[in-house]
Amino acid sequence: MVSELLNRLNQWFEKLPDRVRQRRKMVWSLFVALTLLIASGGSFVRIDMTLDAFFQDDDPTKIEMNRFRSLFGSDEVAYVIYKTKDGDIFSEKSLQLVYEIQQELQNYRLLLSTSEASPLDHITDVKTILNASYMEAGENSLISRNFIGDNIPKTTEEREKIRKAALAHPEYPLLYISENTEYGAILIRTDFGTKIKGEALSVTADSDFEEKNLKTVDDSEIFGFEELNEDADFDVGSDSVDVIELGQTEGLPEYETPGMPDYAEFMRVLNAKLEQPQYREHLKFYPVGNPPMMAFFNDVIVEEIGTVSALSILLIAIVLWILFRSFSAVIWPLVIIVVSLLWVVGLIGWSGMTMTMMLNIIIFLVLAIGVADTVHILSGYLFFRNRGENHEQALRSVFRKTALACLLTSITTMIGMFSLLLVPIEPIQSFGLFAGFGVFIAFLLSVFVLPVMLDLWSPFATNPKKNNQRLDDDGQRLHFVQYILRKVEPLSYRYPLIVTLSFVSVAVILGYGMSKVKIDTNMVNIIKDGLPMRSAYNIVDNFMGGAGSAQILVNTGKIDGLKDPRVLQAMEDLQIFMKKEYPHLVTKSTSLVSISKDSFKALNEGQDSMYVIPEDPGILANTLFMFNNANPKERRRMVTDDYALGRISVNLRNSGSEEYNEMINKIHVFADQRFAELKNDYPQIQVRVTGTLAMLSQMTDYISWSQVRSFGLALIVISLLLLLVFSSYRAGMVALLPNIFPVLTIFGIMGYLDISLDTDTLLVAPITIGIAVDDTIHFLTHYRTEVSKHGNIKEGIIKAFRETGQAIAFTSIILSIGFLIFLMSSHQGLSNFGIMSAIAFFSALFADLFLLPSMCMLFKVRFKQKGAV
């Protein structure tokens, strides 16, 4: 059944070039028209590279994050570390300049016309050692003020006193100042991620009282207080006030995900402020945190992906030329690849779906498959032309032999990609969908348009120069790649057992390495060493308390729960536990605990022995009352107004998602245990890690495991398909191993070299499987045709080797070199991706040239059907 269908298809494909060429005008005009139409959709493509994009709206992690945001605002901070020329952040000049920066960032609005929006409107607070909140006990008085304030001390003596006080303060070192006082930090809190859908982000300034405004001023005039327009009489004190009850999700607003360009724009304006000459001559800045990181990805990496893709296309063109020595053999594949890409991007645009950074993989996958399809057809065409066939006949021959294989490879790869639709994460689904389409588009264009292209301009020189002296048995010219192939050709049929065993033993070694592969994404380490962004992170990790943060939400489920000393005690124990368990990661944690202790000490004339949580609930309530009066802003950051939910904000040094995940689990386990005793009084008490870090961990987890699973699935589906196509269990089994081998190779190498499987290296797998399966199918279809003709396995191997070996080798060489361009990227992940892909292609090449024929020989793979034509 199947083989009959395949034979029919073969015949249909053989006639295809003639049919297409008869209607070449139609094909050309359809090709151009469709390209224009589809590609025009490209302008609608929306790319979202932020974390939120990976979460569905009802994802628990996202709901927790939104709850956190609605209670405490954004947790995204631009943390700008600075180092001074004089090496002392407490020198008069250093303090003065930092004061000026702080003023400038706080008062930037005064320089703008009131209605003008600025990216700096994202700033909600600017904190430095100068305006850090400070509580001091005087004689019978309590002073709550900024640590240094507006008046910079003029004498060395005063400044030394300040330095001492700052270093002794429980909160300042590692947050605002380094312990050697060489580094300081400007903490810029932002509102990123808290824009409620359909609402203006922050309160904008009112418009000026111009003549036209004055005329309309009346009862309803609002002067920038639009949102209160109809609610002037909303009475919080009324008995019938509308309240959304505690813990309800109903009241949680939906937040808009900030776009990458928003971060970039914010950092551009911020950096412009910082890099003014008067500051730059004395201060050096190292911005870290999510906004600078996202801006970096947006500016450097996204831009690089463009140049890197362009470069790899260029390199592919060069390699095509070296291999084929013909411009048309360079131009046509490139046109097909570029047009395929245009179609895919256009379709994405028309579909209206949002793409994530995975768009890049689609681009490279289409690139790889497009190269494979066109090179197979081109090299087959040249193979037959060299054998003396004319243009028309060579086209027929190559289509009969190769087109079916191309169809099969496209279908298998497409199915592999479509299997991703089973993963319930939208960006992965749309990736799978469009990657699948992309692969098929490349196939369609290669099969239908390439013949008319070759008709227009073919790569075969009718009068070849005799500069190539390598000849085959029939006295024909041999390309140097073919020449090498001839040399290694007999290996597989002479020593099938040795070859197979060597592959198996290498596979075992690689398999061991694979077992050591870690799934770990490290957002900082993917930036290459030596780049300013990476150095900034090294500084913040070495001298300050790190730029990462985790937020722990303590939900007591009861109003005033956090006024209970036992709850605070449990929170303190948790904070101590984290610091003890992860001393290299956790540098600091702040919560209502430190506020209570600091306030209690201040209320007790500043005695150090009173830096404790008051045990008496009444005294604690009074202490918190005092603090809330003194610094409501700080209090709001730590606990909700009703004291039902509190937050522990943890400062972390950089690490990978694996260690972070482990830490998050340990925190949950410890918290469940420690807070258990409070269950009687607070039955709903819950302690959960949230914040950007938790989202990152969850996302990495989703991506890694879901993809590992779905690629496994793809492999199974593809094997079944091979089985069906070749209607032979033996052939199916034989085909499987050479496909697993390249995957084993990359994962094995990653295991030995300690390269972890992250969101970037993970992408090697689908591309590898795609290419490896392609090679196998090409080889096996040719082999099958030959073997079924005369039943001679050795003859089949030789024929298949000669006809497809060149194409397989060419595609592998072209793609490897093309992907190696990624080594130039500032993105370590993309670099790893590039080199791993190159290794994978070569490993697939070796497996298909040596392992596959050896196994055919060893297992005597014959196909049931009798000769096709």
Closer Cβ to other proteins, 147 or 364, answer by number: 147
Closer Cβ to other proteins, 179 or 641, answer by number: 641
At its nearest, how many Å lie between other proteins and the CB of residue 537?
31
∠ CA 354-34-437, nearest 5°, is 45
Is the separation of the CB atoms in 39 and 345 below 8 Å? yes
At its nearest, how many Å lie between other proteins and the CB of residue 261?
24
Q: Is 629 in the site for other proteins (CB under 8 A)?
A: yes
Closer Cβ to other proteins, 149 or 532, answer by number: 149
Task: Among 25, 57, 232, 580, indicate the residue that binds other proteins (CB under 8 A).
Answer: 232
Task: Among 514, 574, 603, 835, indicate the residue that binds other proteins (CB under 8 A).
Answer: 603
At its nearest, how many Å lie between other proteins and the CB of residue 201?
12
Closer Cβ to other proteins, 389 or 634, answer by number: 634
Closer Cβ to other proteins, 136 or 672, answer by number: 136
**Range 31-70, binding other proteins (CB under 8 A):** 70
Closer Cβ to other proteins, 16 or 135, answer by number: 135
Is the separation of the CB atoms in 766 and 784 below 8 Å? no
Q: Is 116 in the site for other proteins (CB under 8 A)?
A: no
As a whole number of angstroms, the distance between CA 96 and CA 152 comes to 7
Q: Is 129 in the site for other proteins (CB under 8 A)?
A: no
Q: Is 233 in the site for other proteins (CB under 8 A)?
A: yes
Considering only the stretches 329-337, 347-355, 624-632, 666-674, report the one whose residues sit in contact with other proteins under the rule CB under 8 A: 624-632
Q: Tokens representing 214?
A: 């004055």
Task: Among 563, 653, 784, 799, indicate the residue that binds other proteins (CB under 8 A).
Answer: 563
Closer Cβ to other proteins, 219 or 281, answer by number: 219
Nearest alpha-carbon partner for 797 in 496, 479, 470: 496
Q: Is 221 in the site for other proteins (CB under 8 A)?
A: yes
Nearest alpha-carbon partner for 639 in 529, 556, 714, 727: 556
Considering only the stretches 13-21, 169-177, 237-245, 475-483, report the one whose residues sit in contact with other proteins under the rule CB under 8 A: 237-245
* Single-letter amino acid, residue 95: L
As a whole number of angstroms, the distance between CA 137 and CA 379 comes to 85
Closer Cβ to other proteins, 271 or 622, answer by number: 622
Closer Cβ to other proteins, 58 or 230, answer by number: 230
* Single-letter amino acid, residue 51: L
Closer Cβ to other proteins, 194 or 728, answer by number: 194
Nearest alpha-carbon partner for 826 in 79, 303, 219, 203: 303
Task: Among 86, 616, 677, 681, indicate the residue that binds other proteins (CB under 8 A).
Answer: 616
DSSP states of 775-819 as a string? HHHHHHHHHHHHHHHH--HHHHHHHHHHHHHHHHHHHHHHHHHHH
**Range 72-111, binding other proteins (CB under 8 A):** 106-110
Q: Is 622 in the site for other proteins (CB under 8 A)?
A: yes
As a whole number of angstroms, the distance between CA 572 and CA 13 comes to 74
Task: Among 633, 729, 754, 866, indicate the residue that binds other proteins (CB under 8 A).
Answer: 633
Considering only the stretches 21-29, 226-234, 255-263, 329-337, report the one whose residues sit in contact with other proteins under the rule CB under 8 A: 226-234
Is the separation of the CB atoms in 756 and 31 below 8 Å? no
CB atoms within 10 A of CB 525: 18
**Range 638-657, binding other proteins (CB under 8 A):** 640-642, 644
At its nearest, how many Å lie between other proteins and the CB of residue 100?
16
Closer Cβ to other proteins, 115 or 468, answer by number: 115
As a whole number of angstroms, the distance between CA 553 and CA 168 comes to 28
At its nearest, how many Å lie between other proteins and the CB of residue 188?
14
**Range 251-290, binding other proteins (CB under 8 A):** 251, 253
Q: Is 223 in the site for other proteins (CB under 8 A)?
A: yes
**Distance set, CA 177 to CA 82, 107, 535 (Å):** 9, 23, 18
Task: Among 241, 462, 463, 473, indicate the residue that binds other proteins (CB under 8 A).
Answer: 241
Task: Among 234, 457, 480, 705, indicate the residue that binds other proteins (CB under 8 A).
Answer: 234
At its nearest, how many Å lie between other proteins and the CB of residue 109?
4
**Distance set, CA 16 to CA 220, 282, 404, 446, 772 (Å):** 75, 73, 11, 12, 27
Q: In what order do the strands lie in the sheet with 183-190?
A: 123-127, 183-190, 77-84, 283-288
Q: Is 617 in the site for other proteins (CB under 8 A)?
A: yes
Closer Cβ to other proteins, 647 or 782, answer by number: 647
As a whole number of angstroms, the distance between CA 596 and CA 565 comes to 10
Q: Is 236 in the site for other proteins (CB under 8 A)?
A: yes
As a whole number of angstroms, the distance between CA 799 and CA 856 comes to 13
**Range 701-760, binding other proteins (CB under 8 A):** none
| Residue count, binding to other proteins (CB under 8 A) | 78
The dihedrals phi and psi of 520, each to the nearest 5 degrees, come to -160, 125
Where do we find the tokens 């992965």?
A: 428
**Range 304-343, binding other proteins (CB under 8 A):** none
Question: Which residues lie closer than 8 Å to 449 by C-beta, 6 or more apart?
Answer: 27, 31, 336
Question: Which residues lie closer than 8 Å to 210 by C-beta, 6 or more apart?
Answer: none
Is the separation of the CB atoms in 402 and 395 below 8 Å? no
Task: Among 36, 86, 87, 209, indicate the residue that binds other proteins (CB under 8 A).
Answer: 209
The dihedrals phi and psi of 553, each to the nearest 5 degrees, come to -100, 120
Q: Is 206 in the site for other proteins (CB under 8 A)?
A: yes
Question: Which residues lie closer than 8 Å to 864 by C-beta, 6 or more apart?
Answer: 3, 727, 728
**Range 142-171, binding other proteins (CB under 8 A):** 142-146, 149-151
Considering only the stretches 401-409, 437-445, 613-621, 768-776, report the one whose residues sit in contact with other proteins under the rule CB under 8 A: 613-621
Task: Among 4, 86, 100, 227, indicate the residue that binds other proteins (CB under 8 A).
Answer: 227
At its nearest, how many Å lie between other proteins and the CB of residue 290?
22
Closer Cβ to other proteins, 526 or 568, answer by number: 568
Q: Is 559 in the site for other proteins (CB under 8 A)?
A: yes
As a whole number of angstroms, the distance between CA 752 and CA 644 comes to 50
Considering only the stretches 163-171, 261-269, 621-629, 685-693, report the one whose residues sit in contact with other proteins under the rule CB under 8 A: 621-629
Closer Cβ to other proteins, 251 or 712, answer by number: 251
Closer Cβ to other proteins, 226 or 303, answer by number: 226
Closer Cβ to other proteins, 233 or 281, answer by number: 233
Q: Is 635 in the site for other proteins (CB under 8 A)?
A: yes
Q: Tokens representing 626?
A: 């005092």
Q: Tokens representing 251?
A: 């009241």
Question: Which residues lie closer than 8 Å to 815 by C-beta, 6 or more apart?
Answer: 316, 368, 371, 372, 771, 837, 838, 841
CA 298, 301, 305, 308 dihedral sign is: positive
At its nearest, how many Å lie between other proteins and the CB of residue 681?
15
Considering only the stretches 234-242, 304-312, 751-759, 765-773, report the one whose residues sit in contact with other proteins under the rule CB under 8 A: 234-242
**Range 168-187, binding other proteins (CB under 8 A):** none
* Single-letter amino acid, residue 154: K
Considering only the stretches 202-210, 349-357, 397-405, 843-851, report the one whose residues sit in contact with other proteins under the rule CB under 8 A: 202-210
* Single-letter amino acid, residue 79: Y
At its nearest, how many Å lie between other proteins and the CB of residue 119?
14
Nearest alpha-carbon partner for 333 in 413, 437, 453, 482: 453
Nearest alpha-carbon partner for 308 in 348, 346, 360: 360
Q: Is 243 in the site for other proteins (CB under 8 A)?
A: yes
Using the CB atoms, write b or e for 86-106: b if 16+ within 10 Å: eebbbbbebbebbbebbebbe
As a whole number of angstroms, the distance between CA 59 and CA 63 comes to 6
